[in-house]
Amino acid sequence: MTYLIRNGRIVTATDDYIADVLVEGEIITAIGKSLDTPSDAQVIDATGKLIFPGFIDPHVHIYLPFMGTFAKDDYASASRAAIVGGTTTLIEMCCPNRTEEPWEAFELWRSKAVGISACDFTFHMGVSKFDDHTEAQLRRIVSEGISSFKVFLAYKGFFGVDDTELYKTLCLAKELGVIVTAHCENETMVAELQQQLLSEGKTGPEWHEPSRPMRVETEGVQHLMSFAEITGAEVYIVHTSNSFAVQAALEGRRRGVRVSIETVIPYLVMDDTYAQKPHFEGAKYVMSPPIREAAQQPLLWQALQNREISTVATDHAPFDFVGQKEMGRDDFTKIPNGIPTVEDRVNLLYTYGVKRGRIDLNTFVDAASTQAAKLFGLFPRKGTVAVGSDADIVIYDPDYRGTISAKTHLMATDYSAFEGWELEGRPSHVFVRGKLQAHLGKFVGNLGHGQFLARKTRS
Which option in ligand URP, Zn ion, none does residue 87 bind, with CB closer than 5 to 8 A by kind? none
Q: At what angle do helices 243-254 and 296-305 cross, to 10 degrees?
A: 40
What does the alpha-carbon distance between residue 270 and residue 273 come to, in Å, rounded to a whole number? Answer: 8
Segment (H or E) for 140: helix 134-143
Nearest to 399, CA basis, from 46, 31, 57, 44: 46
CB 300 within 8 Å of CB 45 = no
Q: Does 345 bind Zn ion (CB under 5 A)?
A: no
Which option in ligand URP, Zn ion, none does residue 374 bind, with CB closer than 5 to 8 A by kind? none
Q: How far is the CB of 457 from Zn ion (least distance, A)?
A: 22
Which option in Zn ion, ligand URP, none does residue 287 bind, with CB closer than 5 to 8 A by kind? ligand URP
Residues that bind ligand URP (CB under 6 A): 61, 183, 239, 287-288, 315, 317, 337-338
Residue number with CB closer to ligand URP (297 or 337): 337
Q: How far is the CB of 134 from ligand URP (least distance, A)?
A: 21
Q: Does 315 bind Zn ion (CB under 5 A)?
A: yes
User: Taking CB positions, which residue lies at the least distance from Zn ion?
Assistant: 183
Q: Does 165 bind Zn ion (CB under 5 A)?
A: no
Q: How far is the CB of 348 from ligand URP (least distance, A)?
A: 17
Q: Does 183 bind Zn ion (CB under 5 A)?
A: yes
Which option in Zn ion, ligand URP, none does residue 338 bind, with CB closer than 5 to 8 A by kind? ligand URP
What does the alpha-carbon distance between residue 211 and residue 434 come to, in Å, rounded to a whole number? Answer: 47
Which option in ligand URP, Zn ion, none does residue 451 bind, with CB closer than 5 to 8 A by kind? none
- Contacts with 323 (C-beta within 8 Å, 6 or more apart), sequence order: none
Sign of CA dihedral 63, 69, 72, 76: positive
What does the alpha-carbon distance between residue 178 and residue 124 come to, in Å, rounded to a whole number? Answer: 10
What does the alpha-carbon distance between residue 350 and residue 341 come to, in Å, rounded to a whole number? Answer: 14
Q: How far is the CB of 70 from ligand URP (least distance, A)?
A: 12
Q: How far is the CB of 200 from Zn ion (least distance, A)?
A: 26
Q: How far is the CB of 163 from ligand URP (least distance, A)?
A: 19
What does the alpha-carbon distance between residue 283 and residue 306 come to, in Å, rounded to a whole number? Answer: 33
What does the alpha-carbon distance between residue 181 and residue 47 come to, in Å, rounded to a whole number? Answer: 40
Residue number with CB closer to Zn ion (344 or 390): 344
Nearest to 438, CA basis, from 118, 23, 120: 118
Residue number with CB closer to ligand URP (265 or 430): 265
Which option in ligand URP, Zn ion, none does residue 160 bind, with CB closer than 5 to 8 A by kind? none
Q: Does 57 bind Zn ion (CB under 5 A)?
A: no
Q: How far is the CB of 394 from ligand URP (least distance, A)?
A: 26
Residue number with CB closer to Zn ion (6 or 183): 183
Q: How far is the CB of 120 from ligand URP (least distance, A)?
A: 21
CB 51 within 8 Å of CB 5 = yes
Count of positions on this chain that bind Zn ion (CB under 5 A): 2
Q: How far is the CB of 64 from ligand URP (least distance, A)?
A: 7
Residue number with CB closer to ligand URP (338 or 377): 338
- The two counts, helices (H) then strands (E), for the chain are 13, 21
CA 70 to chain centroid: 19
Residue number with CB closer to ligand URP (205 or 445): 205
The three-class DSSP label of residue 405 is coil
Nearest to 431, CA basis, from 370, 376, 389: 389
Q: Which of residues 68-97 bind Zn ion (CB under 5 A)?
A: none
- The footprint of Zn ion (CB under 5 A) covers 183, 315
